[in-house]
Amino acid sequence: MAAAALGLAACSAERVSHFPSYKLKVVQGNELDAQALGHLQAGLSREQVQMLLGTPLLRDPFHQNRWDYVFVISRNGVVQENKSLTLYFDENGLLTRAEGDAMAHAAAANAAAASAVAP
C-alpha cells in the first residue's frame, strides 16, 4: 500500500497529461461530398441543390438568397478539418454562384479520383 502511494505521489499533473487517453471526435455541420459538389452548377434550383447537398446549416433570414454549408471536425478542442461553402441564388431561386474552400477541396478530390481510375 505504501509503495502504491509513493508511486502515485511521484506522478505530477504534467506527467499525467502525457498518458494516452480517449479524445472525443466532434463532427459538426454538413459533410460535403466531392462528387456532389462536382455536379453543382449555375442555374440549378434550390430544390435541386438541396437534393445534392442536403439542407444548409445556415439560412440567414436577412439574406434569403444565400445558403451556408459548414463542416468542422475537431478533437479535444483542436480543429482538424474545416470546410465552408456559400451559395447565392437569384430572385427566381436559381443558383448564381458558389464560394468557399469546399469547392477547392472537391476539385482536388475529384481530380485525384479521376487520375486513380485512369490507366
Sequence spans of domains, the chain: 23-117
pLDDT 10s digits, 3-36:
555 555 555 555 655 666 666 777 777 788 888 8
Q: What is the pLDDT of residue 98?
A: 93
pLDDT 10s digits, 54-113:
888 777 788 889 999 988 888 777 878 888 999 999 999 999 999 998 888 887 877 877
Residue the block writes with cell 471536425: 73
Spelled out in words, what is the top-level CATH class assigned to the domain 23-117? alpha beta
- What pTM, to 2 d.p., does this model score? 0.69
Q: What is the pLDDT of residue 109?
A: 79
Q: What is the pLDDT of residue 56?
A: 87
